[in-house]
């Protein structure tokens, strides 16, 4: 199989740790430069030219490396960081929704979790603190209209929780 470069995106100032695809030809990238960049495809690649992307938003709320990204649906993504936080973003509006900040070490993986209690979305964060935490994203009266709450903790591990399925 032969692969060809379809696009090259450049904005981050350090290595990129995670890239996810989003609906409608959007992408999100997370980097060791502490940022998450939201990209929108404005022209598809052809035989003669690369695809072009515009930078829609740059999120800079993390205080350390962005290790992982997760798409939740409903224009929501989550970024997990070495700063011990997971931040939920509305990537279309370009706004921070809420911060999940109960880990005591870096978050290294994020996965979707089956929806509980009529939450808008649920996800799991895996951490070097030997825990995996389950979070729900629900409607609230906050300025974003949403809040993130921890609804479960898996604490039986003796070492870092690198990932989950």
Domain ranges across the chain:
16-154
Could you give the angle at the alpha carbon of 19 between the alpha carbons of 15 and 24, nearest 5°? 140
Taking the model in full, what pTM does it have?
Answer: 0.92
> Is residue 118's pLDDT more than 80?
no
Which CATH fold would you assign to the domain 16-154? Methylamine Dehydrogenase; Chain H (2.130.10)
pLDDT, one tens digit per residue, over 44-97 is: 988 888 999 999 999 999 999 999 999 999 899 999 999 999 999 999 999 999
pLDDT, one tens digit per residue, over 36-58 is: 999 999 999 888 889 999 999 99
Res. 117 pLDDT band, cuts 50 70 90: low
């Amino acid at each position: 199989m032969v692969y060809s470069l379809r696009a090259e995106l450049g904005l981050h100032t350090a290595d990129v740790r995670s890239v996810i695809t989003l609906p409608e030809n959007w992408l999100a990238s997370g980097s060791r430069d502490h940022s998450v960049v939201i990209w929108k495809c404005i022209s598809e690649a052809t035989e003669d030219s690369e695809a072009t992307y515009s930078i829609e938003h740059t999120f800079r709320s993390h205080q350390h490396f962005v290790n992982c990204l997760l798409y939740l649906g409903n224009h929501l993504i989550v970024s997990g960081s070495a700063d011990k936080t997971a931040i939920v973003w509305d990537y279309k509006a370009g706004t921070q929704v809420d911060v999940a900040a109960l880990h005591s070490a870096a978050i290294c993986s994020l996965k979707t979790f089956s929806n509980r209690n009529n939450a808008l979305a649920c996800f799991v964060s895996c951490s070097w603190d030997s825990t995996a935490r389950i979070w729900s994203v629900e409607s609230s009266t906050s300025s974003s209209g949403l809040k993130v709450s921890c609804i479960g903790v898996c604490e039986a591990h003796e070492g870092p929780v690198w990932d989950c399925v």
